[in-house]
């Protein structure tokens, strides 16, 4: 492989833009703050084949002469990259141009490497399951039927229950809303009983008498409050007792602790 490279003095550090010709057919544009050092690096890389450019690696086995042409030199590197970008844009549509990035400062807009064949997209196989609309029946908390909605979005517009929340309820990953019961409608029009939600994060609560004897065990604070006479009335006091708040030792004369 023959190299034709501009010669510089050993102490010269020239700033500029260059063009590399491969058999005076393919070409590449670049820039450097030290052209003498850059040309030496190119020669070593092309001789060993140790460089990143996929385009150049693909054509190199067929190349016999590599010629480096000096396009422009500058006293300062302030506008070097911008001027390199202008030179790249002059040749961007040329099929023999080996650069892949239209901007010397950024990899944005990179085009496929030479000889690249874009793989065909797989044929569509219908709508993915998670995108298919599901019909949802809405009931009051007492079980009274209200209406069937043809999609989660329609239900959201009527109740303001988020579509993501509706999905979690249908999958049994979240409890039913406070004022309603949601059931999925099957293809034949029957109502599917919702999957019962079990909150695995709830800690069991132990109810003790004044002597420390266990009276009952509850699955959650809400269940314990409900047994005392009402969630709204006793849940706050239970949480204070369980957290060890000052002045709160018992609720209705009972001691409560986490299991």
- Do residues 26 and 96 make contact, with C-beta atoms less than 8 angstroms apart? yes
* Domain termination residue (choose one: 90, 120, 147): 90
Contact 205, 256 (CB under 8 A): yes
CA 180 to CA 194: how far, in whole Å?
12
pLDDT under 70 in the chain at which residues? Answer: 115-119, 124, 127-131, 198-202
Which domain covers residue 233, as residue numbers?
A: 205-258
Distance of alpha carbon 101 from alpha carbon 88, whole angstroms: 8
175 and 218 in a single domain? The answer is no
37 within domain boundaries? yes
Domain containing residue 42: CATH number: 3.40.1440
Please give the share of the chain, as a percent, with pLDDT higher than 70.
Answer: 93
Number of helices followed by number of strands (H, E) in the chain:
7, 11
Asked if 192 contacts 184 with a C-beta cutoff of 8 angstroms, the reply is: yes
Question: What's residue 129's pLDDT?
Answer: 65
Is 43 in contact with 35 (CB distance < 8 Å)? no
Domain boundary among 36, 56, 90: 90
Give the chain's domain count: 3
pLDDT, position 128: 67
pLDDT of 152: 87
Look at residue 107 and tell me if it is in a domain. no
Q: Is residue 110 part of a domain?
A: no
224 lies in the same domain as 183 = no
Sign of CA dihedral 236, 241, 245, 247: positive
Same domain flag for 184 and 247: no
Q: What is the pLDDT of residues 112-163, one digit of tens each?
A: 877 666 667 777 677 666 667 889 999 998 989 999 999 888 999 999 988 8
Query: What pLDDT was estimated at residue 105?
Result: 87
Q: By C-alpha distance, which of 146, 157, 219 is closest to 179?
A: 146
User: Looking at residue 11, what DSSP letter applies?
Assistant: T
CA 84 to chain centre: 34
Q: Which two tokens stand for residue 192?
A: 């599917």
Going by C-alpha positions, the residue among 156, 213, 155 that lies closest to residue 185 is: 155
104 within domain boundaries: no
**Amino acid 202: pLDDT:** 66
> What's the pTM value of the predicted model, to 2 decimals?
0.46
Asked if residue 124 is part of any domain, the answer here is: no
Q: For the domain that residue 147 is a member of, what is the CATH number?
A: 1.10.10
């Amino acid at each position: 492989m023959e190299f034709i490279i501009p010669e510089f003095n050993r102490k010269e550090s020239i700033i500029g833009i260059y063009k590399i010709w491969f058999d005076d057919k393919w070409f590449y544009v670049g820039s450097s703050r030290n052209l003498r050092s850059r040309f030496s690096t190119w020669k070593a890389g092309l001789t060993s084949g140790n460089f990143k450019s996929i385009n150049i690696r693909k054509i190199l086995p067929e190349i016999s002469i590599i010629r480096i042409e000096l396009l422009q030199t500058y006293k300062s590197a302030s506008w070097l990259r911008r001027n390199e970008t202008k030179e790249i844009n002059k040749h961007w549509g040329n099929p023999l141009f080996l650069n892949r990035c239209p901007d010397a400062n950024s990899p944005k807009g990179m085009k496929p490497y030479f000889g690249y064949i874009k793989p065909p997209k797989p044929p569509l196989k219908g709508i993915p399951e998670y995108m298919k609309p599901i019909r949802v029946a809405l009931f009051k908390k007492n079980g009274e039927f209200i209406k069937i909605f043809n999609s989660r979005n329609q239900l959201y517009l009527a109740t303001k229950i988020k579509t993501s929340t509706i999905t979690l309820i249908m999958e049994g990953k979240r409890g039913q809303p406070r004022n309603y019961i949601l059931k999925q409608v099957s293809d034949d029009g029957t109502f599917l009983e919702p999957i019962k939600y079990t909150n695995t994060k709830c800690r069991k609560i132990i109810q003790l008498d004044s002597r420390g004897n266990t009276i009952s065990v509850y699955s959650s604070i809400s269940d314990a409050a409900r047994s005392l006479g009402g969630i709204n009335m006793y849940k706050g006091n239970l949480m204070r007792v369980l957290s060890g708040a000052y002045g709160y030792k018992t609720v209705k004369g009972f001691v409560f602790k986490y299991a």
